[in-house]
Amino acid sequence: MKFLSFSLLLILISCTNGPVRQDVDDAPYRTSGLEQFFLPELPTWANTSASGQCFKKHNFQYLDFSKLSSTYQLKYPELVELQAQYNERLESYFRSTAVRFVKPVEEAAFFSNTLENVRGGVKHFKIPNGVREVEVIWLDGYIASNKVDQIKQMAQTSRFDERLPVIFSSCLSKQDLNQWLVENDLDQVGFHSLTAEWLNPYSSDLSMKPGLRVEIKKLMGDNVKVKFLIPNEIILPTEIVL
């Protein structure tokens, strides 16, 4: 699979001073005809979040929102859903088999089935009707600051009964986050989640921006009030855009 040129790599990811990984995924180049809808894959050493101070365990697939929009008439929320659901499907597949790559025919089936679901209105991130206030908890920041206990303390109060809690992680996948919640006795809180599968370098106007991002107001609706919960005011998540 093609990797980003150095110049384009600088556009897609933020600079980081963290440790560098040397291993690079050697997955075969896709030949299913879908390559036009995918951005070049990031090498493993670049799969990081500078603001979250974390590495990503998985090489996520980033979609070309511009081409997909013009081909299938999809809007930004549908494009983000498509990418997230496709990556979730891939991870489920890899967790169920020792094979580390997807054959072109399987990839085409995964993509077409996911596309059909999204066009049919299937959503993996949906704010319940009537919700007017949402609190987005930046998990990576709490982990990096060793302040996870603050999340546990909030969960023991009635705080999340009044506002819908959403856990955001720019490095964890959905399945990794679910496992983390179980390990930290937070799986019964009822968190909604936005994870690394939802990040893409395209903005809602389908122009490419520097760094990966998700515009959460486009997913939640303009009538929903969003508040960020962060461990301190010094470091802010660069991947979330209102």
Q: Tell me, what's the pLDDT at 37?
A: 96
Residue 2: what pLDDT? 40
- pLDDT score, position 38: 95
Cα separation values, 112 from 88, 109, 123, 126, Å: 14, 5, 16, 22
Please give the average pLDDT of every successive group of 10 residues along the chain, which has 242 residues. 41 41 40 83 85 92 97 98 98 89 90 97 94 96 95 93 94 98 96 97 96 95 93 82 87
- Amino acid 226: pLDDT: 95
CA pseudo-torsion sign 150, 155, 160, 165: positive
Give the residue from 74, 96, 88 showing the smallest Cα distance to 202.
74
Tell me the C-alpha distance between 35 and 38, whole Å: 5
What pLDDT, on a 0 to 100 scale, did the predictor assign at position 157?
92
What pLDDT does residue 6 have?
34
pTM of the model: 0.85
Q: Where are the domains of the chain?
A: 6-119, 133-241
Q: Are 205 and 198 in contact (CB under 8 A)?
A: no
CATH class of the domain at 133-241: alpha beta
